[in-house]
Structure 1
Amino acid sequence: MPTVLISAVLLTGCSSGGDSGEATPKQTSASEVPTGEAAVKPSESASLSAPGPVLKVGESGEFETGETDDTGENYKATSKMSVKVVSAEYVTPEEVDTGNEPENGQFVKVTLTLKNVGDAPAEVMTYGRMEWENSNTARQKASTLEGVGDGRSIDTTYRPGQSITGFLILDVGEEGGTVSYNASEDPNAVGPLFSVTLPREK
């Protein structure tokens, strides 16, 4: 009989210890949800690579400017710009005082107001970085030198609070479509800094 009683006690003790052992890891696992840097990284990455606003005439939006390290990695946002599409009108070579015909098909004059709404200087350089596309045509370069020197240039460095209203003469395939400013320094960017939906007049 003593042997039987001892065995029963041992079995009961093992069973109780097992229940306690199972409960503890579950509680620990639930409390050790990743926080801090490991949890923040995905949201930061998504924010940095998010595409900018797509704007129509009269609309405004904002986009970030930033920089990478010497290796071209580790992008960080440094400032923020606002952009307003003042107007978008199709023009002829005569109207922009040039003897050059548009190579892609049509000149469009896009007037923008840019303002630094961030806390650090921000550089905007649109030449060579403006592209046009529509539902039938893939992205193509749209920058030109037409109209340069005829008004205030928006390609410059903006200190916090500074703004400029100026225009770009772009060479697009036809009326309509979208022109985009593709100048993000973020190697993980998934879209342009901002885009303008062009009107159709015909």
Structure 2
Amino acid sequence: MFVVAALGITAFVTGCSSSKDGPVEPSHSSVPKREEATQAPQKQVEAPVVSVGKTVSYNAVDVSSRAKTTMSVTLQAVKYVTASEISAVRPKGRYAVITVEVTNTGGKDGGFHPYGKMKWEDKGTAVQGVATMGSTGTQSVDTTYHPGEAVTGDIVLDVPRKGGTVIYYDGTGPASLIFVMPAK
């Protein structure tokens, strides 16, 4: 009985072929075939990395007009301070004051708006928002710059600890700048 069943299955399978010598035609399905991508994947552009004493440039995009210009940022200094040194509202926490010079080196107006657009991270900690509205009495770098204009001032950051990196997001896209924070 087993031999008869095996012969029946073999006859059924070979009887489905459209040709004795050719391959079996695949059945047609209502599921559409997946089409190959016609465009190469876009390469993720790395944000420029700036450390103390260095200057980098990045392409700034105005949020309202979508105009693009080139901005340069120099990280002049990083100083870790206590809450009492900067009259912070929150008495607990670790603060870093970064002194930056921001210059519009492009041909159109461009903004540098760090508050609410900076994140801190290191290898052991998840990304966290860090920019505060604290002031050290210097000029505010949070402004719109006409071509050729520059401002040097401080940004107060509420950081979990020394070191790590601070990432600046110019808009809703990828990171615009990465500040390397000293561990000391």
Q: Counterpart of 2:75 in 1: which secondary structure?
A: strand
Residue 115 (structure 1) aligned with residue 103 (structure 2):
yes
Q: Which residue of 2 aligns with 1:172?
A: 159
Which structure features the higher share of helix residues? Answer: 1
* Larger relative contact order (Cα-Cα within 8 Å, sequence gap ≥ 6): 1
Q: Which residue of 2 aligns with 1:58?
A: 53
- From 172, 179, 183, the equivalent of 1:196 is 179
- Number of residues of Structure 1 aligned to a counterpart in Structure 2: 146
Per-residue CA deviation, residues 99-122 of structure 1 (Å, 9 max, x unaligned), is 5224xx410000000000000000
Q: Counterpart of 1:94 in 2: which secondary structure?
A: helix
CA distance in 2, matches of 1:145, 1:111: 14
Q: Which runs of 5+ in 1 are unaligned?
A: 1-40, 71-75
- From 74, 78, 81, the equivalent of 1:84 is 74
Superposition deviation, residue 138 in structure 1: 1.3
- From 116, 120, 137, the equivalent of 1:132 is 120
Q: Which residue of 2 aligns with 1:97?
A: 87
Per-residue CA deviation, residues 64-112 of structure 1 (Å, 9 max, x unaligned), is 0125799xxxxx661010000000010011211235224xx41000000
Instruction: Give the alignment's TM-score, normalised by structure 2.
Output: 0.71
Q: Which residue of 2 aligns with 1:10?
A: none
CA distance in 1, matches of 2:95, 2:46: 26
Instruction: Give the alignment's TM-score, normalised by structure 1.
Output: 0.65
CA distance in 2, matches of 1:42, 1:114: 35
Q: Percent identity?
A: 29
Per-residue CA deviation, residues 136-180 of structure 1 (Å, 9 max, x unaligned), is 0011000112116x2200010000000000111101110100011
Q: Counterpart of 1:138 in 2: which secondary structure?
A: strand
CA distance in 2, matches of 1:157, 1:67: 9
Q: Which runs of 5+ in 2 are unaligned?
A: 1-38
